[in-house]
Amino acid sequence: MAALKTFWNSPMGPKTTHFWGPVANWGFVIAGLVDMQKPPEMISRNMTSAMCVYSALFMRFAWMVKPRNYLLLACHASNESVQLYQLSRWAKAQGYLEKKEPEGQH
């Protein structure tokens, strides 16, 4: 009970934007997870590659920002995984990950 109260009143808790910013970013992870069920033709190469670079950079950002934000770090680490996986699904569907004679169509 006390722990909950501490969390509630924390300077990085749910009454602050330091909490809701990262929570919003989990939206990307959830969207990515939902989109894993969809056919790879629906994956956007532009968006997914942008996300991969974006989450890598923001993992570092979350570490360096004041106050240090572990929730954000966790979020971007997860997003990095999800987006890399989606990118690989897209690449596979395009034929980029064939072992012999890669014939990628654009």
> 3-state SS string over 9-51?
HCCCCCCCHHHHHHHHHHHHHHHHHHHCCCCHHHCCHHHHHHH
**Minimum Å distance from CB 45 to other proteins?**
9
**Minimum Å distance from CB 25 to other proteins?**
6
Question: Which parts of this chain interact with other proteins (CB under 8 A)?
Answer: 16-18, 20-21, 23-25, 27-28, 30-32, 34-35, 38, 41-42, 44, 46-47, 49-51, 53-54, 57-58, 60-61, 64-67
